Structure 1
Amino acid sequence: MTTIGFIGAGHIGSQVARTAIEAGHDVVMSNSRGPETLAALIADLGPRARAATATEAATEGDIVVVTVPLKAYRDVPVEPLAGKIVIDTNNYYRERDGDIAVLDAEEQTVSGLLQQHLPESRVVKAFNHITASDITSDRSPAGTDDRRALAIAGDDDDARRAVADLLDSFGFDAVDVGQLSESWRVERDQPAYGARENARELRASILLAERNKNSR
């Protein structure tokens, strides 16, 4: 059993938390508005969930999921995440996040920005190309025909393997994209984004990805 901390408790965070609880983990939920605003969610998630501050969730989580709007990534606490696996679910939405020059110029990736902010953490991109409701509704046991696959990317090999194992326990195959520098291949406007694909199909979509400057 692992404790998974959540920095962000919106659509993606709450659904990943439900899946984590069903897989036997405890969760510590946080948001930008304070633990008291999470009472309804915690009641719904049940006794394996509790509300906390972002710093507490970062401190108590063995693995921590960061699922905040990209424009707020610099608010993620740094010190309590040192040495930990941090799962980043984010995408760049200019209409929400404003213009981010290094992303528009394709000089950096979304998760690469979080890794820069958390230099002693092991950031792994995951859950960014699936809609929130599918996280709980489109899972299946290992070995199931046409099992849905999700991509992961990260600069630490052991962290990627750990997240791949976590995804498997949640009900998904993992397809390893490689380093964070390649994580753009499953971001917004790419073939894999939002598509319901098995591992073979997802690998094919990853290979079809193309850089399109300033198209986001």
Structure 2
Amino acid sequence: MSQTLGLIGSGMIGSSVARLAVAAGLEVVLSNSRGPETLAELVAELGEGARAATPAEAARAADLVVAAIPLNAYGRLPAEALAGKTVLDTANYYPERDGHLAELDAGELTSSALIQRHLADSQVVKVFNTITPHQLFSLARPTGAPDRSALPIAGDDAAAKAETIRLLDILGYDGVDIGSLADSWRCEPNTPVYIHPYLGETPAMNVEAFLRWTLQTPGVTVPAAQVGKLAEVAVRQPAGAARLPSDD
């Protein structure tokens, strides 16, 4: 697979992916909506394996690109620069944050299918959306480790999914193929595999307190067999009812 990973979006999830990638020996090209100069501190922290660029430059620099952006920003993904690329979609649909999208509320599309429609010449794979940023980093384990966790993936292109599973293996996770982009609702908010299995017992709290709490929690191993079972028993919920994690 490509030895260069492009990141469009360098927030909490994007930064965790970047840290794992650099630690695994990959080259990382970071980008965000504010400009390369705003990434100087993160690039310095990551070291020689990382550099900053614009989203279009990051897209062109790598065969495999992580789109770690809120769903409401999907229209700003550089479709032309991403043509022919495998794009890993980490987004979740939260109407309270993203605004209501009629096709998603009606269940006509999944959020990843919406992004695939925008990126018609790319191969979109859903991944990294079911785990909080700190646990994404803290639960990573070498291949064959007895306490290795798995993450679900979904996509329409078999080669792109295979490439994604290879990347997950390099970063410290097994991958569980749960089907097509139309099936990706099985790992969306309000499903059994989403967030909570990787955290264990979670106190009731608001979003801000929840995010602080996750930074102090090492996480719980979720092996591939468990991920597969959780995705299999999922029941589709109205997308418009999705709430941010632990927004109690």
TM range (shorter): over 0.9
Give, in angstroms, the shift of residue 178 of structure 1: 1.2
Residue deviations 1:18-65, cap 9 Å, x none? 101111111111111111111111111111111111111111122111
Q: Name the residue aligned to 1:157.
A: 158
> Amino acid of the residue matched to residue 177 of structure 1?
I
Distance 1:173 1:63 in 2: 18
In the alignment, which residue of structure 2 is the partner of 1:29?
Answer: 30
The CA distance in 1 between the partners of 2:190 and 2:87, in whole Å, is 24
Identify the residue that residue 67 of structure 1 maps to in structure 2. 68
SS in 2 for 1:202: helix
Q: CA RMSD in A?
A: 1.0
Secondary structure of 1:174's counterpart equals strand
Shift of 1:181: 0.4
Q: Which residue of 1 aligns with 2:235?
A: 210
Query: Is 1:132–2:118 an aligned residue pair?
Result: no
Q: SS state of the match for residue 237, structure 2?
A: coil
Number of residue pairs aligned between Structure 1 and Structure 2: 216
Which consecutive unaligned segments of at least 5 residues does structure 2 have?
A: 199-221, 243-248
CA deviation profile, 1:148-203 (whole Å, cap 9, x unmatched): 01011110001101100110111111100111000110111100001222111111
- % identity of equivalent residues: 51
In structure 1, the partner of 2:47 is 46
2-side partners of 1:64 and 1:181: how far apart? 21
Deviates more, 1:96-105 or 1:137-146: 137-146
* Aligned position for 2:203: none
Q: Which runs of 5+ in 1 are unaligned?
A: none
- C-alpha displacement of 1:215: 2.4
What's the offset of the Cα at 1:94?
A: 1.1
Q: How does 1:1-216 map to 2 (within 5 A)?
A: 2-194=3-195, 195-196=197-198, 197-213=222-238, 214-216=240-242
**SS at 1:123 equivalent:** strand
Stretch of structure 1 that moved more, 134-143 or 90-99: 134-143
TM-score between the two structures when normalised by the length of structure 2: 0.85
Work out the CA distance in 1 between the residues paired with 2:104 and 2:182. Answer: 12
Cα distance between partner residues in 2 of 1:55 and 1:89: 18
Q: Give, in angstroms, the shift of residue 146 of structure 1.
A: 3.6
